[in-house]
Amino acid sequence: VYRVQVALDDKKTHFTGRSEITFHLKAKPDDLRIDFFEGTTSEMTVNGQPLPSSAKKKYWIQIPAHLLKEGEN
């Protein structure tokens, strides 16, 4: 499930927003990649734990396996 909130301002060339992604894992995987193309982030959390800014790459966000769990994430 994706929940997205976006704030648009016709006087600015960029926008701000918030995304929440919920998914169910049948088994705990290795690291998980989520596509995220060339955007910026100010804060990221996974299951209530902070995700370091180093997890954000140019084309994806790398979620370390130790932050994931079987079931809902």
Looking at beta carbons, which pairs linking 56-62 to residues 24 or more positions away fall under 8 Å? 59/35, 60/33, 60/34, 60/35, 60/36, 61/33, 61/34, 61/36, 62/31, 62/32, 62/33
pLDDT score recorded for residue 40: 87
Indicate the pTM of the whole model.
0.81
pLDDT score recorded for residue 73: 95
pLDDT score recorded for residue 29: 80
Which residues of the chain fall below pLDDT 70? none
pLDDT score recorded for residue 24: 94
pLDDT score recorded for residue 38: 79
